[in-house]
Amino acid sequence: MVSVKKAFFIMFSITIVISLSVFSFISYRYMQDYFTRYVDATYQSSVENITNFANSVINGDNYSKKTLNSYIKDPIYYVEIYDDDNNLLINSGMSFVRGNLDSLSKVTDEIDIMTENNKVGRVVIIKEKKTLDTVTSKLFSKALIKSVIVSFLVTILSIFFVIQFGIKAVLRNFKAVEDYVDNDIEKPDNVKVKELAYLLDVIEKYKHSLKLKDKVKKEKFDKLLHETKTPLTIIKTQVEGAIDGVIEVDDEVLKSVVDELDSLNIILNDVTNIIDGTNVEEEIVKSDIDYAEEIEKIIKSIKPGFDEKGIEIIFNKEPFMLNTNKNILNHAIYNVLLNAFKYTQEGSIEIELDNALKSITIRDSGIGVEEADLKKIFNPYYRGENAKTYEGQGLGLSNVREDLTKLDFTIEVRSVINKFTEFEITQKIKI
């Protein structure tokens, strides 16, 4: 695996080397071209001076070899001036120079000297065949190459330090993102790299989504665990009642125990599905039932516990037809009654049915609910101030409202401290 720092360094280094190489090559060729044009221009100027000098020599004016030599500039190596009779009048340098000149690398230019359209002599100029082969050009090329290499190295070193500084700044941004991913901390605001800032926003949304999913998963898990209390409490009450001789063990009681065990098995399967991540909501099946019969069964299953605590259950049975899922509604009613049982020390719990409104009202004579808590008691994990001394997690009523919502029921609460708490459960009427 290649680290980010190394990857950046390799990437930038390759880019810079290629860029500088191309730039250096172009600069070198441009300067060579410029210098070639400069040497050619110098040659033309020297030829003009030599031609004028040759006219003076042929005309018999005073002259010196020193003057001629002053016109010998790259690419010129050697000059000879002849009169019209082909007599050598003067040459540059020593006479043996011409014999030692390499004919392969040199060329000869002959220029006629004219006076009033008459040829009076000629100039022989021996020069480098290629401008870039001149001494000056070679020295210039060496100096240029050295300058390019030095500039290249200095630039590379400068950019290396700049990259090191830049990479450190980028790595600090990466570190901030990494810390945010690995730890439960606030989103950093010092990330200046645009792409990393975008990545940070994506990670923030992802983390928020995971937290919501974990929260929902935990609430479902806690809800199901809480729901196990209802069948376990009913089974315990009936078994204890049978042992104490309060409840006669008949087919109805045994069927009730089997039903609660089935409910418990369903809950445990749901818990397993949540753990495995395969939880799927099942379709709710509704049917027409006389729900008064179900309430009577519920009362019978929990009555021994109420009798033991000295709490009277008041229920005037009358036909009460509903189209609903009895198991889910039973679970909700059980929870409301057990909640009333927990917070009622003495007195009674009354259950009223209203066929016209299709409502079930459960009223206890317990500790009541503070007015400030009335709007919050259905929130998961919320517990009223006066209920915190009692055992519980604050999930019972939350589960009740969730179950009732599935069945298109509403639930409302009214209460007066130390007098009563009343829950009204009403089926929504479809128009």
pLDDT level of residue 3 (50, 70, 90 thresholds):
low
Least confident of 25-29, 44-48, 80-84: 25-29
Query: Mean pLDDT throughout 241-264?
Result: 69
Provide the CATH number for the domain around residue 40. Answer: 3.30.450
Query: Mean pLDDT throughout 264-287?
Result: 66
Tell me what pLDDT residue 130 has. 75
Q: Are residues 241 and 338 in the same domain?
A: yes
Percent of the chain residues past pLDDT 70, beyond the cut: 69
Please indicate whether residue 258 or residue 293 has the higher confidence score (pLDDT).
Answer: 293
Report how many domains make up the chain. 2
Query: Mean pLDDT throughout 98-121?
Result: 75
Task: Tell me how far CA of residue 143 lies from CA of 132, 157, 421, in angstroms.
Answer: 14, 21, 101
Least confident of 38-52, 57-71, 116-130, 256-270: 256-270
pLDDT level of residue 219 (50, 70, 90 thresholds):
low
- 409 domain residue, yes or no: yes
- 51 domain residue, yes or no: yes
Tell me what pLDDT residue 321 has. 94
Q: Are residues 146 and 249 in the same domain?
A: no
Q: Are residues 118 and 12 in the same domain?
A: yes
Tell me what pLDDT residue 374 has. 87
Of the three residues 102, 122, 154, the one that is the final residue of a domain is: 154
CB atoms within 10 A of CB 234: 24
- 194 domain residue, yes or no: no
Task: Pick the most confident of 224-238, 297-311, 389-403.
Answer: 297-311
Q: Are residues 147 and 287 in the same domain?
A: no
**Average pLDDT of the residues of the chain:** 78
Rounded Cα gap, residues 353 and 421, in angstroms = 17
Q: State yes or no: pLDDT of 173 exceeds 50.
A: yes
Residue with tokens 């040459």: 91
- 304 domain residue, yes or no: yes
CB atoms within 10 A of CB 162: 12
Rounded Cα gap, residues 231 and 268, in angstroms = 12
Tell me what pLDDT residue 216 has. 59
- 258 domain residue, yes or no: yes
Q: Is 1 exposed, middle or buried (0-12, 13-18, 19+ CB in 10 A)?
A: exposed
Q: Are residues 241 and 140 in the same domain?
A: no
Q: State yes or no: pLDDT of 96 exceeds 50.
A: no
Cβ-contact 90, 112 below 8 angstroms: no
Query: Is 328 strand, coil or helix?
Result: helix
404-409 long-range contacts, CB within 8 A, separation 24+? 404/329, 404/332, 406/284, 406/325, 406/328, 407/284, 407/286, 407/324, 407/325, 407/328, 407/329, 407/332, 409/324, 409/329, 409/332
Q: State yes or no: pLDDT of 102 exceeds 60.
A: no
Cβ-contact 261, 231 below 8 angstroms: yes
Query: Is 118 strand, coil or helix?
Result: strand
Tell me what pLDDT residue 199 has. 66
Which tokens belong to 252?
Answer: 């109805």
Least confident of 181-185, 324-328, 372-376: 181-185
* pLDDT tens-digit map of 28-79: 777 777 777 877 788 888 888 888 888 888 888 887 888 888 888 777 878 8
Please list the helix, strand and coil fractions of the chain in percent, rounded to the nearest 5, in that order.
55, 20, 25
Of the three residues 126, 154, 182, the one that is the final residue of a domain is: 154
Q: E strands, 52-164, where?
A: 76-83, 88-91, 106-115, 118-128
Q: State yes or no: pLDDT of 344 exceeds 60.
A: yes
Q: State yes or no: pLDDT of 1 exceeds 50.
A: no
The pTM assigned to this predicted structure is: 0.47
Q: Are residues 224 and 148 in the same domain?
A: no
Q: State yes or no: pLDDT of 170 exceeds 80.
A: no
Query: Is 127 strand, coil or helix?
Result: strand
- 333 domain residue, yes or no: yes
DSSP, residue by residue, 72-86: --TTEEEEEEEETT-
CB atoms within 10 A of CB 384: 19
Q: Which among 230, 240, 238, 302 has a CA at the least distance from the CA of 266?
A: 230
Q: State yes or no: pLDDT of 122 exceeds 80.
A: yes
* pLDDT tens-digit map of 131-155: 666 666 677 777 777 877 787 777 7
Q: State yes or no: pLDDT of 98 exceeds 60.
A: no
Q: Is 185 exposed, middle or buried (0-12, 13-18, 19+ CB in 10 A)?
A: exposed
* pLDDT tens-digit map of 351-382: 999 999 999 999 999 999 988 888 888 888 78
Q: Give strand pairing partners of 122.
A: 82, 112
Rounded Cα gap, residues 343 and 348, in angstroms = 11
Q: Are residues 84 and 230 in the same domain?
A: no
Q: Are residues 296 and 393 in the same domain?
A: yes
Q: Are residues 94 and 228 in the same domain?
A: no
CB atoms within 10 A of CB 111: 15
- Length in residues, the chain: 431
- The answer for residues whose C-beta is within 8 angstroms of residue 262's C-beta and 6 or more apart is none
Please indicate whether residue 198 or residue 22 has the higher confidence score (pLDDT).
Answer: 22
Provide the CATH number for the domain around residue 303. Answer: 3.30.565.10
> Residue 121's domain spans which residues?
4-154
Rounded Cα gap, residues 177 and 58, in angstroms = 89
Of the three residues 154, 171, 205, the one that is the final residue of a domain is: 154
CB atoms within 10 A of CB 368: 20
Rounded Cα gap, residues 403 and 421, in angstroms = 20
pLDDT level of residue 288 (50, 70, 90 thresholds):
very high
Q: Are residues 222 and 84 in the same domain?
A: no
- 206 domain residue, yes or no: no
Cβ-contact 287, 323 below 8 angstroms: yes
Query: Mean pLDDT throughout 80-89?
Result: 88
Q: State yes or no: pLDDT of 271 exceeds 70.
A: no
- 12 domain residue, yes or no: yes
Q: Are residues 231 and 105 in the same domain?
A: no
Q: Is 241 exposed, middle or buried (0-12, 13-18, 19+ CB in 10 A)?
A: buried
Q: Are residues 147 and 222 in the same domain?
A: no
